[in-house]
Structure 1
Amino acid sequence: MKNLLPRIEISLPKIRHNARLLCQLYGSKGLSVMGVSKAILGDPSIALAMIQGGVNFIADSRIENILKMKQAGIVTTFVLLRTALSQAESVVNIADISLNTELATIQELSYYAQEKQKIHRIIIMTELGDLREGVLPKDLVKFIKKTLAFPFIKIVGLGCNLACYGGIKPDSHNMSKLSVLTDTIEQEFLIKLPIISGGNSANYQWYQKSSEVGRINNLRLGESILLGCETVNRQVIPGLYTDAFRLIAEVIESKDKPSLPSGEIGRDAFGNVPSFIDQGIHRRVIIALGRQDVLISGLQTSQEIKILGSSSDHLVLDSHNKRLKVGSEVSFNLDYGGLLTAMTSRVC
Structure 2
Amino acid sequence: MSCPRIEVDLAKIRRNTQTLVKRLGPRGIGVTGVTKAVCGHPAIAQAMLDGGAVGLADARISNVQKLRAVGMTGPITLIRTPMLSQADQVVLSCEASYNTEILVISALAAAAIRNGSVHGIVLMVEMGDQRDGILPENLKDIAQQVMQMSGVALKGIGTNFACLNGLAPTALQMAAFCDLANEIEGVCGPFLKIVSGGNSANLTWVLGEHATGRVNDLRLGEAILLGVEPVSGDRIDGMYTDAFTLVAEVIETGAKPPSIPIALIDPTRERLRIVTPSGACARMILAIGHQDTDILGLSMPTGNTLIGATSDHLVIGTPVTPPTVGSEVRFQMSYNALMRAMAAPDINVELMGYPPKRPSRHTQGKVQHLALV
Please report the TM-score for the alignment, with normalisation by the length of structure 1. 0.96
**TM-fit CA distance, 1:267:** 2.6
Q: Distance in 2 between matches of 1:266 and 1:301?
A: 26
Equivalent pair of 1:265/1:273 in contact (CA under 8 Å): no
Q: 1:307 offset after TM fit, Å?
A: 1.0
Point out 4+ residue stretches in structure 1 off by more than 3 angstroms.
273-279
1:333 corresponds to: 332
RMSD: 1.4
In the alignment, is the contact (CA less than 8 A) between 2:246 and 2:333 conserved in 1? yes
Equivalent residue number for residue 29 of structure 2: 31
Matched, 1:295 2:294: yes
Query: How many angstroms does 1:167 deviate by?
Result: 2.0
Contact 2:251 2:286 in 1 (8 A): yes
Query: Which residue of structure 2 lines up, in the alignment, with residue 72 of structure 1?
Result: 70
In structure 1, C-alpha distance between the alignment counterparts of 2:298 and 2:105, rounded to whole Å: 40
Q: Match of 1:58? A: 56
Q: What SS does the corresponding residue of 1:125 show, helix, strand or coil? A: strand
1:182 partner letter: A
Deviation at 1:4, TM superposition (A): 1.0
The 5 A counterparts of 1:36-185 are: 36-82=34-80, 83-185=82-184
2:87 touches 2:107 (CA, 8 Å); kept in 1?
A: yes
- Whole-Å separation in 1 of the counterparts to 2:321 and 2:79: 45
Which residue of 1 is the match for residue 3 of structure 2? Answer: 5
Which range is displaced more, 317-326 or 179-188?
317-326
Contact 2:284 2:322 in 1 (8 A): no
- Preserved CA contact (<8 Å) 1:304 1:322: no
| 1:201–1:224 contact (8 Å) kept in structure 2 | yes
1:272 alignment counterpart: 269
Q: Give the CA deviation at 1:86.
A: 1.2
Per-residue CA shift, 1:250-293, capped at 9, x if unaligned? 111110222x212524235x853477645432101101111111
Q: What is the DSSP-based 3-state SS (H/G/I as helix, E as strand, rest coil) of the residue aligned with 2:269?
A: coil
SS in 2 for 1:285: strand
Q: What secondary structure is seen at the aligned counterpart in 2 of 1:17? A: helix
Say which structure, 1 or 2, has more relative contact order (CA 8 Å, 6+ apart).
Answer: 2
Q: What amino acid maps onto 1:256 in structure 2? A: A
- Listed one character per residue, the Cα deviations across residues 61-86 of structure 1 (whole Å, up to 9, x for unaligned) are 00111111011122321000111111
Residues 280 and 271 of structure 1: is their aligned pair in 2 closer, same or farther, counting only changes over 3 Å? closer
The answer to whether the 8 A contact 1:267-1:273 is kept is no
8 Å CA contact 1:196–1:217 kept in 2: the answer is yes
The aligned counterpart of 2:226 is: 227
Contact 2:277 2:307 in 1 (8 A): no
Structure 2 letter corresponding to 1:28: P
Deviations 1:139-193 (A, max 9, x none): 1111111111110211111100111112232121111111100001111221110
Secondary structure in structure 2 of the residue aligned to 1:28: helix
Distance 1:273 1:206 in 2: 39
Structure 2 CA distance for partners of 1:34 and 1:280, relative to 1, 3 Å: same
Identity of aligned residues (%): 39
Provide the rounded CA distance (Å) in 2 between the counterparts of 1:74 and 1:256: 52
Alpha-carbon distance in structure 2 between the residues aligned to 1:207 and 1:325: 48
Letter in structure 1 aligned against 2:58: D
Q: Which amino acid aligns with 1:21?
A: T
Q: Secondary structure at the match of 1:252?
A: strand
Q: 1:188 to 1:308 in 2, by over 3 A?
A: same
Kindly indicate whether the alpha-carbon contact (under 8 Å) linking 1:15 and 1:49 is maintained by their aligned counterparts in 2.
yes
Correspondence 1:195 to 2:194: yes
TM-score, normalised via structure 2 length:
0.89
Partner secondary structure for residue 334 of structure 1: coil
- Provide the C-alpha distance between the structure 2 equivalents of 1:215 and 1:202, rounded to a whole number of angstroms: 18
Deviation at 1:117, TM superposition (A): 1.6
Once residues 276 and 115 of structure 2 are traced to their aligned partners in structure 1, the CA distance between those partners, rounded to angstroms, is 66
In structure 2, C-alpha distance between the alignment counterparts of 1:57 and 1:278, rounded to whole Å: 50
Q: Structure 1: give runs of 5+ residues left out of the alignment.
A: none
Which sits farther off after the overlay, 111-120 or 30-39? 111-120
Structure 2: where are the runs of 5+ without partners?
A: 349-373
In 2: Cα distance, 1:235 partner to 1:142 partner: 40
Cα 1:226/1:322, change in 2 over 3 Å: farther
